[in-house]
Structure 1
Amino acid sequence: TETIGAVARLAGVSIRTLHHYDEIGLLTPGGRSDSGYRLYRDHDLERLQQILLLRELGMGLDEVARVLDDPAYDRLEALRQQRTRLDRSRKRMTRLIAAVDAAISAAEEGRTMTPEESLEVFGDFDPSQYEDEVKERWGNTDAYRASARRTKSYTKQDWQKIGADSNEINQAFIALMDHGIPAYSPEAKAVAERHRGHISKWFYQCSPEIHTGLGQMYVADPRFTANIDKAKPGLAQYMSDAIAALWA
């Protein structure tokens, strides 16, 4: 058995967090000392590990409780999925570190980034291929003008941050998909709202109408669908459905 302080240190969480998990019935320690202090047994520690794993996947506490209490929950499969996500994140971080190193070198040498360097943050997705079409379809809109004005001043580090934030949102959607959470669920709609906030923060004020249109475009335009589905097949449809549910 372990005391709450020892468990907090081992798991890298606060004692207050463990108290909260106990209060809401998510993790109730199986023992008590003679003085009434919480004592955590091996099966409690295993459950805590699973809680932290699911939290890392972007789940809220209510959803974590439902998943863990579901007899169909497969801990081994959840670990494998987390391993896959961590590997994807590791590869992405390796690319970003290399890109930051290149930006540092450019700054130290007093030069600006080349077009090739600026595209590193997009991986193998080249947004320039859409430029003429975007101008034709939305060039006269306030949203396009706002986006063009704001992005003109963005640095390579800004684009890297945008890419990292976008990837986090995609991974949150993927986590819900992997656990069979429907696109119309409150959890999926919450991630869809994060998606809208991301666009408003970095590009233009994304109204419900614009957001709905983007969701439709993700599945109507095969190029967008193919690019989004690189992260996970079916992701574009899931995102589109979640956005539609958000504004239904």
Structure 2
Amino acid sequence: MSNTEQMSRERDPAPEADAGLTVGRTAELVGVSVRTLHHWDEIALVQPSERTWAGYRLYSGADIARLQQVLVYREIGMPLAQIAEVLDDPTADVADHLGRQRELLISRIARLQELVSAVNRMMEAKEMNEELTPEEQARSFGSEWHDPYHEEAKDRYGHTEEWARSQERAKQLSPAEWDQAKRDLEALEAALAEAKRGGVQPGTEAANRLAEQHRAAIGRWFEVSRSKQVLMARNYVDDPRFTAHYDDREAGLATWLKAIIDANAEAHGVDPARAEWE
């Protein structure tokens, strides 16, 4: 039986025991995909502890509780590897985990309230026909909105047409558009991580489609040729900060992303080794 057939059957195997929940039912209840549950099982983050007589995996009450803990930690941005370390810490008990999660959630709620206030300030500025500079936006949104690379990027690219165009477009965005841009980027990076996790290979149709979506996301700010995209992707593996950003989502994601960008560019007649900023 193929992996696809196995996953399909595990979504809704014949009802048997009341001992636990099937993979499909668990995915539906906790709000994640079946593929995600399979991945978490493979990396031993959350493994269903029971089986039906036919060998189908079942999640017990304890398994569901662990899933809920993973979801909370993932929501606050903790990498999966770190979540596993926290949950498997032999010195911690359930009360410790719940207390830690409560503190993190309270902190996140407070931060979200600050962001709501920042959006309100930006809306007021728009209503008064005032344009906020990137620095003013950073001050409004605080540390979470602060771009630590802004001055570095300005020093390096401030003289270019692309920099001027990106800054002009940034000034024209409404609060709703800023929020949409952030959601779009998060969705793209989640899709990239999911594809890499699922074994999508560079050069395939699926990988090329994702590379084009990545190029379009950058194109929100300035025109991006495939040659420019190749050059930008080099930073993903050369600059530890970029590497950490992507690899925190999925181990090896930065290298994989560069590989699919290079392969897509090559498919369109661009030699990655000879790419130029054009």
The residue that corresponds to 1:48 in the other structure is 24
Structure 1 residue runs of 5 or longer lacking an equivalent are 1-21, 32-38
Deviation, 1:53, is 8.4
User: What is the correspondence of 1:103-142 to structure 2 with a 5 Å cutoff?
Assistant: 103-105=119-121, 107-108=123-124, 114-115=136-137, 116-117=139-140, 122-123=145-146, 125-136=148-159, 139-140=160-161
The residue that corresponds to 1:87 in the other structure is 76
Deviation, 1:131, is 0.8
Structure 2 residue identity aligned to 1:211 = Q
List per-residue Cα deviations over 1:134-187 (Å, max 9, x = no partner): 124xx04xx44543432231244433332232222222333344x462552745
Structure 1 residue identity aligned to 2:140 = E
List per-residue Cα deviations over 1:69-103 (Å, max 9, x = no partner): xx958682594765543332978786455313222
Counterpart contact for 1:96–1:160, Cα < 8 Å? no
Counterpart contact for 1:184–1:245, Cα < 8 Å? yes
Counterpart contact for 2:12–2:22, Cα < 8 Å? no
Mapped pair 1:216 → 2:205: no
Q: Alpha carbons of 1:121 and 1:234: their partners in 2 closer, same or farther (altered >3 Å)?
A: same
1:76 to 34, 46, 49: 46
Report the TM-score, using the length of structure 1 for normalisation: 0.58
Counterpart contact for 1:189–1:245, Cα < 8 Å? yes
Mapped pair 1:170 → 2:146: no
The residue that corresponds to 1:98 in the other structure is 114
Deviation, 1:209, is 1.9
Counterpart contact for 2:119–2:175, Cα < 8 Å? yes
Q: Quick one: higher RCO (CA 8 Å, sep 6+), 1 or 2?
A: 1
Counterpart contact for 1:208–1:247, Cα < 8 Å? yes
Q: Alpha carbons of 1:108 and 1:168: their partners in 2 closer, same or farther (altered >3 Å)?
A: same
Q: Distance in 1 between matches of 2:20 and 2:241?
A: 47
Structure 2 residue runs of 5 or longer lacking an equivalent are 49-66, 79-104, 267-278
Q: Distance in 1 between matches of 2:122 and 2:216?
A: 32
Counterpart contact for 1:29–1:40, Cα < 8 Å? no
Deviation, 1:235, is 3.2
Report the TM-score, using the length of structure 2 for normalisation: 0.53
User: What is the correspondence of 1:23-62 to structure 2 with a 5 Å cutoff?
Assistant: 46-49=22-25, 52=28, 56=32
Mapped pair 1:240 → 2:258: yes
The residue that corresponds to 2:216 in the other structure is 197
Q: Distance in 1 between matches of 2:43 and 2:212?
A: 27
Q: Distance in 2 between matches of 1:82 and 1:185?
A: 32
How large is the Cα RMSD of the aligned pairs? 4.6
